[in-house]
Structure 1
């Protein structure tokens, strides 16, 4: 029987290791570009962008335009 992921624990681990995760995604994207797979590279960079935004300052602590304070 497979257990369902624990979103809280998953989020905590992702937040603790966000820098290396973002670095690894960029390395993957660069390899995809080198292999002529620009669409795949775009996917990895978009994923990194989403994770980066999700790991940033919570909206309640951001300015009205959504920038961290």
Structure 2
């Protein structure tokens, strides 16, 4: 992955599948992201991972 230059040089394994990207030629450079319908199918996975993370934190620190 290139660390300098345009955001367009960051590799993506499934461009446009999980999120859409719209770059703007302004200064500073800005990029708008929007989740796709396919990306929304990750909701269950993200919720379960969040639940696991909170449970793990409780076990380590004794609090949420």
Q: Which structure features the higher share of helix residues?
A: 1
> Considering only CA atoms, is the larger Rg found in Structure 1 or Structure 2?
2
Same fold (TM over 0.5): no
What is the TM-score normalised by the length of structure 1?
Answer: 0.42
Q: Which structure features the higher share of strand residues?
A: 2
What is the TM-score normalised by the length of structure 2?
Answer: 0.44
